Chains A and B, each alone.
Chain A
């Protein structure tokens, strides 16, 4: 055995025979007694974790509304959208999407979010281009539709706001509502072979607060107006119906159908109509209804109607005739060697039927109406027309057989309340 191993063994023998010295216990006790004050009461890790989790849960739970508020809001569109949409957005009813897609030559489209319900889908978007060319027609994009599972929603309207440098455009596009089964939607553009696909959560679509059949008719002179359904969603109220009244030549035939909520008129947002098989299908849009709805009434204040006039009026320049509550201003009368030209100004809705001029000996019917001009007055549209009669002689009177105009009916349909 080598010396080292031997020495190690010897040392082991020596250590084995070593006995702990008697003062050991006292020394250890003294060492411990000095330690007393320094003993730290450790809180076990698990309790610290539990406490931290509870704190987070309490804080997050208590401020849930605020967190949800900031989590869901689509930001930056304050100037672009209406008050109703802004309120909904602030209530966190939108879906934040935040998807960016390059469209064309440095122009990037970001879909910030969307809001949808049974009446429409509103897409919030931001276009950016560093070149500042967003105002040029070549870089103005027109969406055509949104597609998805069972969804083919047509583009309805849009609006936006451009910054001064033309580098950023923030706006909204409105489409028809998507199908509730669609989980993914694709935005298509006109004249641009580019599509933007984004996720959609149909469960977040806002529910309609009122969705019911109206099935009521209002009888007017020329026929009936039938109101079929009302769908009131958080973003819009839509009323659908049909009429057999010929409203072909009217510009705003439905403008005087008001929706009254709790006695106050709801702001009209637009509408449209289409003809098929001699009937007119119409859709009227109003702003969202107030939250506490006690009473909802549809009021046909005025509707295109007609009235027999059968009267002769003196023909004099500057004369104002009052027929069935409407003013007819004879602005100008001029006689050439072949014709008599009569310029009249009336309310936009007024149409004169079977008009003629004449004197005691004979009467000349209207040949044609030319130079129709629309003028915007304070609260309505007026129209200026020139009526041409094939009569070189000056006439004494203007004969009006009948007149079509917005006739007051003031008929109401109660939808909610008594």
Chain B
């Protein structure tokens, strides 16, 4: 069945059509969600949020052909919402951890050779991290990133540039020693 027809059906409230649309490109969706969230659990949560939002808002979709770009934009948005709400939550043990090492700067304290890339990315501005993830993990060009995150091309470029610069600076001590 063509995308257009399925979108039409989905618009009329057919949930299976909507599900099929997503499942047809499930790998793409999953990779976006995973690259954002960094783990399977959160990626699946983000996709759940996405499909609910799609179902609610599919009436607003004007061009049936642009279903995929539209739905991926929503996925990015869902990921970002979860990501942001998660970053506000500080688990008690982490918090106590911070307390015990008070007196050191947080950045310096947490810099660790064994940190994975997601932990590094969590230390920079989330918008910068988002742009870097889309650029590197999804191989998207600048324009696509701009479209997906509702920003201008220039903003995307500067976010990636400044984000990387910040990462280099943070990691300077810990990582460059290895080289």
User: Can you give 9 contacting A-B residue pairs, CB < 8 Å?
Assistant: A18-B34, A25-B19, A27-B47, A28-B47, A32-B15, A33-B15, A35-B55, A39-B55, A42-B59
Contact of A32 among B35, B55, B139 (CB under 8 A): B55
Interface string of B163-179 (1 = CB under 8 A from A): 01001100100011011
Decide: B48 and A18 in contact? CB cutoff 8 A. Answer: no
Please name all residues of chain A whose beta carbon is closer than 8 Å to the beta carbon of B93 when the two chains form the complex: none
Decide: B168 and A2 in contact? CB cutoff 8 A. Answer: yes
Contact of B27 among A10, A20, A40 (CB under 8 A): A20
Give, as a whole number of angstroms, the nearest-CB distance from A345 to chain B.
98
Closest chain B residue to A36, Cβ basis: B15
Tell me the bound Cα distance from A31 to B56 in angstroms: 12
Known interface pairs A3-B175, A3-B179, A31-B48; A20-B26 also in contact (CB < 8 Å): yes
Decide: A12 and B139 in contact? CB cutoff 8 A. Answer: yes
Please name all residues of chain A whose beta carbon is closer than 8 Å to the beta carbon of B51 when the two chains form the complex: 28, 31-32
Closest chain B residue to A11, Cβ basis: B117
Give, as a whole number of angstroms, the nearest-CB distance from A26 to chain B.
10
Say whether B148 faces chain A, with CB atoms less than 8 Å apart. Answer: no
Give, as a whole number of angstroms, the nearest-CB distance from B143 to chain A.
19
Give, as a whole number of angstroms, the nearest-CB distance from A49 to chain B.
16
Decide: B29 and A20 in contact? CB cutoff 8 A. Answer: yes
Please name all residues of chain A whose beta carbon is closer than 8 Å to the beta carbon of B111 when the two chains form the complex: none
Decide: B164 and A18 in contact? CB cutoff 8 A. Answer: no
Known interface pairs A4-B175, A28-B51; A39-B56 also in contact (CB < 8 Å): yes
Tell me the bound Cα distance from A213 to B107 in angstroms: 107
Say whether B3 faces chain A, with CB atoms less than 8 Å apart. Answer: no
Known interface pairs A11-B117, A15-B35, A39-B55; A28-B19 also in contact (CB < 8 Å): yes
Say whether A24 faces chain B, with CB atoms less than 8 Å apart. Answer: yes
Decide: B55 and A44 in contact? CB cutoff 8 A. Answer: no
Known interface pairs A7-B117, A24-B26, A44-B59; A32-B137 also in contact (CB < 8 Å): no
Decide: A8 and B31 in contact? CB cutoff 8 A. Answer: no
Decide: A4 and B31 in contact? CB cutoff 8 A. Answer: no
Give, as a whole number of angstroms, the nearest-CB distance from A13 to chain B.
10
Tell me the bound Cα distance from A253 to B44 in angstroms: 108
Please name all residues of chain A whose beta carbon is closer than 8 Å to the beta carbon of B13 when the two chains form the complex: 39
Say whether B7 faces chain A, with CB atoms less than 8 Å apart. Answer: no
Give, as a whole number of angstroms, the nearest-CB distance from A33 to chain B.
7
Give the interface of A toward B (CB within 8 A).
2-5, 7-12, 15-16, 18-21, 23-25, 27-29, 31-33, 35-36, 38-40, 42, 44
Interface string of B99-117 (1 = CB under 8 A from A): 0000000000000000011
Please name all residues of chain B whose beta carbon is closer than 8 Å to the beta carbon of A29 when the two chains form the complex: 15, 19
Give, as a whole number of angstroms, the nearest-CB distance from B28 to chain A.
9
Tell me the bound Cα distance from A5 to B120 in angstroms: 12
Contact of B136 among A12, A18, A20, A33 (CB under 8 A): A12
Tell me the bound Cα distance from A293 to B164 in angstroms: 96
Decide: A4 and B171 in contact? CB cutoff 8 A. Answer: yes
Say whether B18 faces chain A, with CB atoms less than 8 Å apart. Answer: yes
How many of B's residues come within 8 Å of A, CB to CB?
40
* Given A11-B118, A15-B34, A20-B30, 4 new contacts (CB under 8 A): A4-B171, A25-B23, A31-B52, A38-B56
Tell me the bound Cα distance from A8 to B121 in angstroms: 10
Tell me the bound Cα distance from A2 to B56 in angstroms: 44
Decide: A35 and B56 in contact? CB cutoff 8 A. Answer: yes
Tell me the bound Cα distance from A60 to B50 in angstroms: 46
Known interface pairs A20-B30, A24-B47; A15-B59 also in contact (CB < 8 Å): no
Please name all residues of chain A whose beta carbon is closer than 8 Å to the beta carbon of B27 when the two chains form the complex: 19-20
Please name all residues of chain A whose beta carbon is closer than 8 Å to the beta carbon of B59 when the two chains form the complex: 42, 44
Within 8 A of A (CB), among B57-79: 59-60
Please name all residues of chain A whose beta carbon is closer than 8 Å to the beta carbon of B55 when the two chains form the complex: 32, 35, 39
Say whether B132 faces chain A, with CB atoms less than 8 Å apart. Answer: yes
Say whether B145 faces chain A, with CB atoms less than 8 Å apart. Answer: no
Say whether B40 faces chain A, with CB atoms less than 8 Å apart. Answer: yes
Known interface pairs A3-B176, A3-B179, A11-B136; A24-B168 also in contact (CB < 8 Å): no
Going nearest first, the 4 A-B pairs with the smallest beta carbon separation are A20-B30, A3-B175, A31-B48, A8-B136
Within 8 A of A (CB), among B120-150: 120, 132, 136-137, 139
Say whether B156 faces chain A, with CB atoms less than 8 Å apart. Answer: no
Within 8 A of A (CB), among B3-58: 13, 15, 18-19, 22-23, 26-27, 29-31, 34-35, 40, 44, 47-49, 51-52, 55-56
Decide: A28 and B136 in contact? CB cutoff 8 A. Answer: no
Please name all residues of chain B whose beta carbon is closer than 8 Å to the beta carbon of A18 when the two chains form the complex: 30-31, 34, 40
Contact of B137 among A3, A5, A8, A35 (CB under 8 A): A8
Decide: A32 and B18 in contact? CB cutoff 8 A. Answer: yes
Residue picked from A5, A11, A18, most chain B C-beta under 10 Å: A11
Give, as a whole number of angstroms, the nearest-CB distance from A83 to chain B.
61
Closest chain A residue to B167, Cβ basis: A4
Decide: A28 and B48 in contact? CB cutoff 8 A. Answer: yes
Please name all residues of chain B whose beta carbon is closer than 8 Å to the beta carbon of A38 when the two chains form the complex: 56
Tell me the bound Cα distance from A21 to B43 in angstroms: 10
Tell me the bound Cα distance from A7 to B18 in angstroms: 36
Tell me the bound Cα distance from A12 to B56 in angstroms: 32
Tell me the bound Cα distance from A38 to B30 in angstroms: 26
Known interface pairs A8-B132, A36-B15; A28-B137 also in contact (CB < 8 Å): no
